[in-house]
């Protein structure tokens, strides 16, 4: 009997949470998993929602249970495991069916898969999902890439399960094939930048102001109640106030200072560079995670090179202003990559709408995103966030604090890679005349690469090249 409106393949943390969220809307959800016992685990914990869940251990039964045209949501790792599952399931599907990848996929793979499935008259949707387990269960932010037809079918379902910001569902169709996964990748890049800025400022308070983790947690708590209101600021406050049940020490002190990364931050940087762009704060955040992982080398270097850091004469209020500036710069860099991708891949990415669907449900949700959405709605010059009048005004107010923090931090030997990268970009962009003319001259001098001469057409060479 074909009676389920959607199927979920993959019942790990995110897949199970999303299946329960879908079931809660009243629709019937078929579920399956490669390891069959996981199906019963989900049905057992579903309680009353199990009435809306159909577990199928056999793939053929799972496919047969779905209303046609079918909607199948894959919640499994997006690399090899997804390709293997697609090889198995695609022969069982019929023209018009839609396969959705809800994982953090490399958008190049999504484009490849979409093309392969299109040749069989199947739709492939790359669905970026953010919000962790809690979001998946009660309302994630979702970024959809796929055909208009598949979006029409998915729209009511995804709108029903999405997070809402003042009633507006945090989900939208952003473009074809890889657009949704690309936007999710950049979301994660911004997430890296935000987390690094927070970590650097935590480090300054800890090592430069001598505050304890619970004291710093209280500062982040205050910030979260004010203009810096953001999910990541709020969880930082919680984390820093938490003590280790085993030792009684602050929890943050018993965690090895070596940050992990699964790849989306790195992909953001790679794609930005490929398009001739640079999101320097995201690069700095990726680099900082990589350097953090070199724990042993850092320990040796601390002895060899000296690890002294000076106390800082800056106030917590100045740090708050600096974080305001840095967060705007991080978002601005992320949105520049989205604009570059819109042009490179001919995607109709709408920066304002993307900011809107990030206002709730996702990891980077924050009050600032509402201001950013409004700024983009006003069509800023060159599409640049930092040129939107309200944002430029805000930056004018808080950049001096970022400058003060950086001057003190750099002078005192504190590492602040993301904060410095943000200010360097801002200072570069606000100069109509920079030093790159010299770089062009050097290129021409050693390699006859030529340069554009001001006020003259064509390619020119310097007098260092004398044609004989």
Contact 362, 189 (CB under 8 A): no
Stretch binding ligand 6PG (CB under 6 A), from 17-25, 124-132, 143-151, 161-169: 124-132
Among 21, 33, 54, 104, binds ligand 6PG (CB under 6 A): 104
Nearer to ligand 6PG, 334 or 380 (CB): 334
Residue 284 beta carbon to ligand 6PG: minimum distance, rounded to whole angstroms: 15
Q: Which residues pair with 127 in a beta bridge?
A: 144
Nearer to ligand 6PG, 4 or 282 (CB): 282
Provide the residue count of the chain.
Answer: 468
Catalytic residue among 149, 184, 295, 320: 184
| Backbone dihedral region for residue 142 (phi beyond 0: left; psi -120 to 50: alpha; all else: beta) | beta
Active site annotation includes 191? yes
Neighbours of 206 (CB within 10 A): 17
Q: Does 268 bind ligand 6PG (CB under 6 A)?
A: no
Nearer to ligand 6PG, 130 or 207 (CB): 130
| Backbone dihedral region for residue 125 (phi beyond 0: left; psi -120 to 50: alpha; all else: beta) | beta
Residue 181 beta carbon to ligand 6PG: minimum distance, rounded to whole angstroms: 11
Secondary structure, 3-state, 100-167? EECCCCCHHHHHHHHHHHHCCCCEEEEEEEECHHHHHHHCCEEEEECCHHHHHHHHHHHHHHCCEECC
Contact 147, 95 (CB under 8 A): no
Active site annotation includes 184? yes
Stretch binding ligand 6PG (CB under 6 A), from 59-67, 116-124, 157-165, 256-264: 256-264
DSSP state of 208: I
Stretch binding ligand 6PG (CB under 6 A), from 159-167, 174-182, 254-262, 372-380: 254-262
69 upstream amide cis, omega within 30 of 0: yes
Residue 258 beta carbon to ligand 6PG: minimum distance, rounded to whole angstroms: 13
Q: Quote the strand ranges of 265-369, DSSP E.
A: none
Nearer to ligand 6PG, 62 or 331 (CB): 331
Catalytic residue among 24, 134, 191, 321: 191
Q: Does 261 bind ligand 6PG (CB under 6 A)?
A: yes
Q: Does 363 bind ligand 6PG (CB under 6 A)?
A: yes
Q: Does 132 bind ligand 6PG (CB under 6 A)?
A: yes
Distance CA 222, CA 216 (A): 10
- Residues marked active site are found at 184, 191
Note the residues at the interface with ligand 6PG (CB under 6 A): 104, 130-132, 188, 191, 260-262, 264-265, 362-363
């Amino acid at each position: 009997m074909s009676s389920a409106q959607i199927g979920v393949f993959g019942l790990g943390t995110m897949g199970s949470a999303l299946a329960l969220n879908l079931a809660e809307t009243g629709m019937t959800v078929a579920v399956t998993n490669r390891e069959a016992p996981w199906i019963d685990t989900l049905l057992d914990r579903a309680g009353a929602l199990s009435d809306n869940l159909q577990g199928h251990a056999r793939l053929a039964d799972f496919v047969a249970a779905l209303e046609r045209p079918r909607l199948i949501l894959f919640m499994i790792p997006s690399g090899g495991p997804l390709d293997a599952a697609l090889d198995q399931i695609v022969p069982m599907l019929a023209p018009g069916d839609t396969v959705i990848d809800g994982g953090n996929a490399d958008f190049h793979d999504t484009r490849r898969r979409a093309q392969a499935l299109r040749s069989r008259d199947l739709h492939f949707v790359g669905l970026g999902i953010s919000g962790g387990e809690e979001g998946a269960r009660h309302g994630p932010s979702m970024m959809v890439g796929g055909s208009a037809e598949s979006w029409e079918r998915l729209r009511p379902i995804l709108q029903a399960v999405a997070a809402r910001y003042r009633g507006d569902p945090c989900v939208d169709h952003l473009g074809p094939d890889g657009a949704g996964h690309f936007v999710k990748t950049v979301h994660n890049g911004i997430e890296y930048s935000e987390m690094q800025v927070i970590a650097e400022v935590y480090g300054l308070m800890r090592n430069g102001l001598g505050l304890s983790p619970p004291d710093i947690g209280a500062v982040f708590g205050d910030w979260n109640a004010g203009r810096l209101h953001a999910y990541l600021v709020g969880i930082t406050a919680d984390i820093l106030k938490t003590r280790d049940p085993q030792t009684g020490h602050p929890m943050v002190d018993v965690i090895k200072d070596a940050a992990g990364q699964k790849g989306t931050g790195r992909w953001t940087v790679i794609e930005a560079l490929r398009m001739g762009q640079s999101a320097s704060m995201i690069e700095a955040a990726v680099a900082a995670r990589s350097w953090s992982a070199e724990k042993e080398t850092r320990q040796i270097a601390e002895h060899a090179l000296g690890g002294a850091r000076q106390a800082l004469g800056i106030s917590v209020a100045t740090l708050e202003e600096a974080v305001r500036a840095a967060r705007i710069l991080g978002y601005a860099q992320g949105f520049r990559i989205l604009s570059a991708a819109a042009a490179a891949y001919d995607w109709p990415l709408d920066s304002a709408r993307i900011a809107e669907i990030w206002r709730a449900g996702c990891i980077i949700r924050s009050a600032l995103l509402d201001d950013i959405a409004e700024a983009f709605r006003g069509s800023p010059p060159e599409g640049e966030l930092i040129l939107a009048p309200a944002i430029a005004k805000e930056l004018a107010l808080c950049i001096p604090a970022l400058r003060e923090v950086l001057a003190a931090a750099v002078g005192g030997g504190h590492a602040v890679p993301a904060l410095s990268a943000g200010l360097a970009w801002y200072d570069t962009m606000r100069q109509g005349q920079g030093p790159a003319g010299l770089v062009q001259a050097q290129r021409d001098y050693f390699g006859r690469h030529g340069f554009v001469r001001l006020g003259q057409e064509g390619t020119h060479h310097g007098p260092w090249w004398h044609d004989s």
